């Protein structure tokens, strides 16, 4: 194979410092972006594959598609180009914590496993990433633990989305009717060489969830062909046998993911996210009340293999023999991680030491004895669908009027359900300053907003009570509801500066109570420090609201700290403004009246800040 020495050379703005891995499709290098002064990963296509121009074009097209996905749990693609020898490359985010596969191997050696709460958190975040990818028309097709990278703080990142589609194309060009994937995580339809969609990714993620919970994959055998046969014909080992301590919703979620027929699984990754949130609540001893329409599949039974299906599986096995380098060889190409895992972080994740019994299997982990998980978890509390029944106006609002706000450290997180009874007693903050009003409109100063804020190691919690005699909402487009709304603006670096423009460290959350029952999550917006709006749910932000008896409302929200790229600590201060907008007339503009907690704020200069201090 013709080689191109790249270590020590500069390709475009990337100075290549070392070769990290070489697989069946690409070489993976560590490089430094000299323009932005940061380390990146360069994936450079092997020279033997460059001759196929259509393949190169597909590689770049998929890279562009992946680069447009703006999600905290999807690998960031920074750019693409060609080496001096004409080999295409991708510049990608460098995730330093190792892959989930690395962690599984290390935990196996240490006789440990991840706590249930952290397992559900990781899988929920990857399910949310799949939801974003599927909405963009991207199906992964080769989801496995080595394609899930982990930041040192435990936040998972899904990688190889675009490359998976390219590998599928390359396998298709090799042999008609072929399959592509890794046998232990392949769906039955993949094993049979049938067309796949996002439900195949849900199956693969269910396999990973089972493996993390049980300590071994549900299907193991001595050959890839035997594993494929199990996926198509056999029931998985009962998860109950390995984990009798789990709650029913956790068992149910795994069961639905692993159904043989795609129609019997969760139909979207978004449904799986909700199911995992419910399971997480139940594992924490809370009662989920969010409605989850689980599919009702036919009873799973072991069946004898049907002879007419064996030619399909035999063809799949033949392809695996020819293309095992494609299915497995790119395992190390997923190495946007260091070659060996860093020490397993414990700040946000619980590692449970187990009394281990060895299990025979490809990624064997010890069988865990029943344990109780006790630590902060990165899973935001599940929002409870609110009721339209008005609740009384709270009477415990000893409000203060100040631009400077404090958030109290919460011993236990509140349930996000529009009910403040589980919040500790504390001083609320009044948004009393008139930022904007329209004089020709009657009643421009009839609303007030009282804010409570709390925090823990994983999340920032928000509760706001809006006193308002008329609640108006107008369904607009898929950006936000016009009418009554709330926004929070954060400035993570400048400690209460009076800058009048959004800076690279600024963030904004827009939320609305809607009609208290059917506001889609797409109408809650998060503006990141790149200035782009995305649905808040994509960032793991959860909200719920309830009406008050006098026409006002209560709204609660939780924002994972990872969205700010900061680690919270007592005494930390960031810039903050708390704003409420009110409409009393149907059909008018969004802001007939806007109030803020910051006295210096105006409608013309909305980015002036108070401060938020973590107590």
Q: How far is residue 317's CA from residue 192's CA, in Å, rounded to a whole number?
A: 10
Q: What is the DSSP letter of 479?
A: T
Q: Is 493 a catalytic residue?
A: no
**Cα–Cα distances in Å, from 523 out to 315, 410, 482, 533?**
47, 28, 10, 11
Contact 500, 494 (CB under 8 A): no
Q: How many Cα atoms within 13 Å fall on the side-chain side of residue 78? A: 19
β strands within 75-210, DSSP E: 77-82, 88-92, 112-114, 148-150, 156-158
Torsions phi, psi of 358, nearest 5?
Answer: -60, 145
The structure tokens listed for 440 are 């020709």
SS3 sequence of 94-129: CCCCCEHHHHHHHHHHHCEEECHHHHHHHHHHHHHH
User: Catalytic: which of 128, 142, 419, 584?
Assistant: 142
User: Counting beta carbons within 10 angstroms of the beta carbon of residue 430, is it exposed (0 to 12), middle (13 to 18) or buried (19 or more)?
Assistant: middle
The structure tokens listed for 495 are 């400690």
Q: How far is residue 132's CA from residue 270's CA, in Å, rounded to a whole number?
A: 9
Contact 511, 485 (CB under 8 A): yes
Other Cβ atoms less than 10 A from the Cβ of 286: the count is 15
Beta-strand pair 404-409/447-455: parallel
Q: How far is residue 388's CA from residue 129's CA, in Å, rounded to a whole number?
A: 31
SS3 434: strand
Q: Which residues contact 123 (CB under 8 A, 6 or more apart)?
A: 205, 208, 209, 212, 276
Catalytic (active-site) positions? 142
């Amino acid at each position: 194979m013709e080689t191109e020495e790249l270590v020590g050379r500069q390709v475009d703005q990337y100075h290549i410092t070392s070769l990290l891995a070489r697989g069946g499709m690409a070489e993976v290098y560590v490089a430094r972006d000299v323009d932005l002064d940061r380390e990146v990963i360069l994936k450079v296509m092997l020279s033997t594959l460059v001759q196929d121009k259509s393949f190169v074009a597909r590689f770049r097209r998929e890279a562009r598609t992946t680069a447009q996905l703006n999600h905290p749990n999807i690998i960031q693609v920074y750019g693409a180009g060609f080496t001096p020898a004409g080999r295409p490359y991708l510049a990608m985010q460098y995730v330093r914590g190792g892959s989930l596969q690395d962690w599984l191997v290390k935990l196996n050696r240490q006789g440990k496993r991840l706590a249930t709460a952290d397992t559900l958190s990781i899988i929920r975040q990857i399910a949310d990433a799949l939801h974003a990818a599927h909405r963009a028309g991207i199906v992964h097709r080769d989801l496995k633990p080595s394609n899930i990278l982990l930041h040192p703080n435990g936040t998972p990142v899904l990688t190889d989305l675009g490359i998976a589609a390219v590998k599928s194309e390359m396998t298709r060009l090799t042999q008609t009717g072929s399959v592509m994937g890794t046998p232990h995580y392949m769906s039955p339809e993949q094993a049979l060489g049938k067309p796949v969609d996002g439900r195949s990714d849900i199956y693969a993620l269910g396999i990973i969830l089972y493996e993390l919970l049980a300590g071994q994959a549900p299907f193991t055998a001595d050959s890839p062909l035997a594993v494929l046969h199990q996926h198509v014909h056999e029931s998985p080992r009962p998860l109950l046998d390995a984990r009798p301590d789990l709650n029913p919703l956790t068992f149910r979620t795994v069961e639905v993911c692993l159904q043989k027929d795609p129609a019997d699984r969760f139909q979207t990754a978004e449904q799986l996210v909700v199911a995992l949130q419910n399971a997480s609540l139940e594992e924490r001893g809370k009662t989920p009340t969010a409605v989850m329409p689980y599919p009702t599949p036919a009873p799973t039974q072991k069946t004898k293999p049907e002879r007419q299906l064996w030619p399909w599986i035999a063809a799949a096995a033949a392809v695996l023999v020819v293309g095992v380098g494609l299915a497995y060889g790119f395992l190390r190409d997923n190495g946007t991680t260091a070659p060996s895992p860093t020490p397993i972080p414990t700040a946000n994740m619980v590692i449970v030491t187990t009394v281990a019994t060895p299990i025979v299997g490809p990624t064997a982990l010890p069988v865990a004895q029943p344990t109780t998980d006790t630590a902060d978890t990165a899973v935001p509390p599940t929002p409870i669908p609110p009721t339209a029944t008005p609740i009384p106006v709270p009477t415990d609002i000893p409000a203060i009027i100040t631009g400077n706000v404090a958030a109290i450290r919460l011993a236990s997180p509140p349930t996000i359900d529009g009910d403040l009874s589980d919040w500790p007693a504390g001083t609320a903050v009044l948004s009393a300053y008139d930022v904007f009003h329209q004089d020709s409109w009657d009643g421009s100063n009839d609303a007030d907003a009282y804010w409570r804020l709390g925090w823990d190691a994983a999340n920032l919690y928000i509760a706001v009570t809006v006193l308002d005699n008329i609640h108006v909402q107008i369904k607009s487009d898929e950006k936000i509801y016009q009418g009554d709304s709330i926004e929070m603006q954060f400035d993570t670096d400048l400690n209460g500066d009076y800058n009048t423009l959004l800076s690279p460290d600024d963030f904004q959350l827009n939320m609305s109570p809607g009609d208290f029952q059917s506001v889609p999550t797409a109408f809650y917006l998060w503006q990141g420090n790149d200035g782009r709006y995305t649905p808040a749910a994509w960032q793991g932000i959860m909200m719920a609201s309830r009406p008050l008896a006098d026409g006002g409302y209560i709204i609660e929200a939780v924002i994972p700290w990872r969205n700010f790229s900061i680690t919270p600590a007592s005494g930390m201060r960031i810039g903050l403004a708390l704003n409420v907008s009110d409409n009393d007339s149907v059909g008018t503009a969004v802001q007939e009246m806007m109030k803020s907690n910051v006295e210096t704020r105006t409608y013309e200069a909305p980015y002036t800040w108070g401060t938020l201090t973590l107590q």
